[in-house]
Structure 1
Amino acid sequence: MSNPQPSERPEQRRGQRLLFLALLFGVLLNFPLLGAFSHDARLAGIPVLYLYVLAVWAALVSLTGWLVKGIKN
């Protein structure tokens, strides 16, 4: 019979999720993916690269806000 693992504190899990989120967006905003969107195509007159960066930034802000929302001072 195995011993159950002690439960992690919510702050520790939140910190791990925020670290994962930072690494994920570091990858999404790195050269290989930015290079894939760096061409002359436009959507509604706006370069696709700008739309990609804006979408990734908006996702980062909203997911970070969602994760941090539960922190109490």
Structure 2
Amino acid sequence: MLPMSSQEQTEQRRGQRLLFVSLLFGVLLNFPLLAVFNHNGRVGGVPVLYLYVLLAWLTLVLLTAWLVKKVN
């Protein structure tokens, strides 16, 4: 087996991190956790569930962009 170059190792680590992020957000946006935030409370007039989903989605986008753009 040929040794991997540093570029290949970096790409493999990036792929592993992106897989972890996708699994994490699969859990965060799954029913049992969403049910915790599904109540009549509001924050600034916005339902808590909507705010949770919006913040989780925004975090997913920013974390994914950071991982993809990160050089090492």
TM-score of the two chains, using structure 1 as the length reference: 0.84
Task: Give runs of ≥4 in structure 1 deviating > 2 Å.
Answer: none
Instruction: Find the counterpart in structure 2 of residue 3 from structure 1.
Output: none
Determine the structure 1 residue equivalent to 2:68: 68
**Matched AA of 1:61:** V
| Residues matched between the structures, number | 66
Which sections of structure 1, spanning at least 5 residues, go unmatched?
1-5
Is 1:32 aligned to 2:27, yes or no? no
- Name stretches of at least 5 consecutive residues in structure 2 with no aligned partner: none
Amino acid at match of 2:22: A
Residues in 2 aligned to 1:44 and 1:63: alpha-carbon distance in whole angstroms: 25
Judging by fraction of residues, say which structure has more helix: 2
- Which entry has the higher C-alpha Rg, 1 or 2? 1
2:14 maps to: 14
Question: Where does residue 43 of structure 2 map in the other structure?
Answer: 43
- Among all aligned residue pairs of Structure 1 and Structure 2, give the percentage whose two residues are the same amino acid: 68
Paired letter, 2:39: H
SS of 1:9 mapped into structure 2? helix
Q: Give deviations 1:21-59, integer Å, cap 9, x for gaps.
A: 000000000001100000110011100000000000000
Give the superposition deviation at 1:70.
3.5
